[in-house]
Structure 1
Amino acid sequence: MATAPLHTAPSTIMQRGSGLLPGIVLCAAVTFAALTAQRIEVALTGRAWLEALVLAILIGTAVRTAWSPAERWQAGIHFSAKTLLELAVAMLGATISLGAIVGAGAPLVAGIVAAVAISITASFTLGRLFGLPRKLAMLIACGNAICGNSAIAAVAPVIDAESDDVAASIAFTAVLGVAVVLLLPLIAHVLGLGQHGGGALAGLTVYAVPQVLAAAAPLGVAAVQLGTLVKLVRVLMLGPVVMTLSLIMGRRHGAERAPVASHSIASITRFLPWFILAFLALAAARSLGLLPEVAVAGAGQLAGLLTIVSMAALGLGVDLRSVAAAGPRVTAVVTLSLVILGAVALVVIRLAGIA
């Protein structure tokens, strides 16, 4: 009797794998369509106005609207939306080097940290005042304050966000992200900011690194260089923010079971998801020079691909009626949050003495 599990384990694994396959293949097909659409977009306009990550959500949502996948598809869709996303977040750690902080300078780094903290707090408060659910408000706050889609994707599994909330927050921040890229050079000119000031403004407000390059390029090479550096330091805030949320969620879920928590390392790691621990470990290894560049590049590319697959899965689980119902409130919160972030960014630029 004791040896029965050894005989059943392989068949059980095969059954689970075959059960996941249909949904994973569906998500992969949506991902392929999104990547193809992005290539066509670049070929026609010279720029990816909507990245594959956003397109995957839109295509997945369109498929879900036209066709409701049966139960046999659901296991693979859920696996792609959760497990693959967690794996992508973990692998992102290999692309983060803490050395970027040293090169940015203490005053600017302190300003970036303050800007992220103030923006998250203000955005979350706005979301709650506008009646948004707590998780949706947090997704929008982190997306605006840190790095848009990537931050939303990283925070979502930590706070157990619903797919509708993830899709809504990404969709609206994506639209405004494109608007910021287009308007930022004009805003920098109107405010009298030079290349360094305009680049810092781009790094502090624009969501994705490629978008920072697009927004800062019209201002000059110096703007692109400083904007990219500021943006990378801002992205580094994702680790501490996600870790903090993990601890908060862990305490909330475990409060009844463990009313008195120890401050030991074991107690802390108990509340941290495996992928956050992996993220931090890989970031430390990258910072110490333990990872070869080929591994870093490969991890970044694979993380990006897995994130797109996960977003396709999220799109396949979206009810458009729920997203539409949240539309006006989400739009207002995202817009006001972006205005607050811009105001805080200008204060940081002035205090740091960036011209």
Structure 2
Amino acid sequence: MNRTSDWWLGVLFTAFIAFLGYGAALIPGVNFLGPMACAIFIAILFRQIFDYPEKWRRGIEFSTKTLLRLAIVLYGLRLSMDTVFEDGLSLLVFGVLSIVLSIVLMIFLGKWWKADPSISLLTGVGIGVCGAAAIAAIAPIVKAKDEDTALSVAIIALIGTVFAVIYTIIQPIMPLTDSQYSVWTGLSLHELANVVLAGAAAGDEALALALLAKLGRVLLLIPLSFIFILWMKNKHSSNADSNISFPWFLLGFIGMSLIGSYVIDEVIFVPAAVLDSITAFSSFILTMAMVGLGLNISLADLRKRAWKPFLLAIAVSIFLSIIMFGAVKLMNI
């Protein structure tokens, strides 16, 4: 009974900070950030000053992982499948480029600067694919230590959040259409939550396109995982852990996209008020997910042994943003 109540307290704690984020977003001078960014910064600040009870961790992880995936599935209602057929293949190609550049640069720059190789590799995977989820999938395959995994996740969470906020701030002055901006966020930002945060600045339709670009990179986690399995087998001549978790929520996102494109209004009528309520709900649970992300960022741990990979990750993230900016300018979106 106590474990159940502790789980609920963890979930409710993320909801409480999410409410604070919505309140902070009403303050003049801060409102341009929006509730999601405000909430995650409150969470980061809380973690550094007070921390949270360890017994709440399961509830917080539920918000960070499960609610995030549920929100992404619901966001599929906003995606036009016609856009998928027109732009999906090219987005997947650029997704491959994003992953290759991120991992290769982090590995070679890490060797050059004598940065921790394990953290550099995992951070490169996080930058290129889908942040913490990709790190969590690859870490057991490459036999990474738990502390290396945690530090890599913290690096990605912090940098990805800062970049998402920067994208949101500069969106109005960028020489990109809303569609180009959304694809840029999907191809260059780290976490799904980062893409949602930045992509929302261009509107709901653009956000759905940003998720399409990002989820293409998420899907590439599967072949990437098998590549690392083969690499580990060749390196050590032993079996690596091949327990890879398929991102099933991707199928849910596609399914909801099909419903939104070809069922709603075409087959059945759904009142606008209902769709607006689903949108509001998905936005709020996404904010809860980002709160959980912020609560897992420890600045003290980053300072101790991961400052080199941290600085390299910033450099690679900037480079990736520039390259993908050039790529989307060439795409007819």
Give the TM-score, by structure 2 length.
0.68
Letter in 2 for 1:276: L
Letter matched to residue 28 of structure 1: A
Letter paired with 1:88: A
Residue in 2 aligned with 1:235?
211
Counterpart in 1 of 2:295?
A: 316
**Aligned residue in 1 for 2:113:** none
> In structure 1, what is the equivalent of residue 259 of structure 2?
285
1:60-87 per-residue CA deviation (whole Å, 9 max, x = no partner) reads: 2221211233333223223222222232
**1:86 lines up with 2:69 in the alignment:** yes
Which of 5, 22, 27 is the aligned partner of 1:35? 22
What RMSD, in angstroms, separates the aligned Cα atoms of the two structures? 4.1
Distance 1:316 1:239, change over 3 A: closer
Point out the more displaced range, 76-85 or 327-336: 76-85
Structure 2 counterpart SS, 1:330: helix
Quickly say closer, same or farther: Cα 1:295–1:175, change in 2 above 3 A: same
Number of aligned residue pairs: give it.
292
1:163·1:314 contact (CA, 8 Å) conserved in 2?
no
The letter of the residue matching 1:335 is I
1:164, 1:317 within 8 Å by CA — same for their partners in 2?
no
Contact preservation (8 Å) 1:166, 1:314:
no
Opposite residue 34 of structure 1, the aligned amino acid is: G
CA distance in 2, matches of 1:174, 1:110: 28
For the pair 1:58 / 2:21, whether they are aligned, the reply is: no
Separation in 2 of the partners of 1:137 and 1:73?
30
Structure 1: gaps (5+ residues): 1-13, 143-150, 189-196, 216-223, 260-269
Question: Aligned in 2, Cα 1:205/1:296: closer, same or farther, shift over 3 Å?
Answer: same
Match of 1:5? Answer: none
Q: Distance in 1 between matches of 2:241 and 2:300?
A: 39
Provide the residue aligned with 1:263 in structure 2.
none
8 Å CA contact retained: 2:11, 2:63: yes
What SS class does the counterpart of residue 25 from structure 2 fall into?
Answer: helix
Provide the C-alpha distance between the structure 2 equivalents of 1:92 and 1:52, rounded to a whole number of angstroms: 17
Q: Which runs of 5+ in 2 are unaligned?
A: 111-118, 140-147, 187-194, 234-238
With the length of structure 1 as denominator, give the TM-score of the two structures.
Answer: 0.64
Equivalent residue number for residue 8 of structure 2: 21
- 1:95 matched to 2:102? The reply is no
How far apart, in 2, do the equivalents of 1:75 and 1:213 lie? 28
Determine which structure has more spread, i.e. the larger CA radius of gyration.
Answer: 1
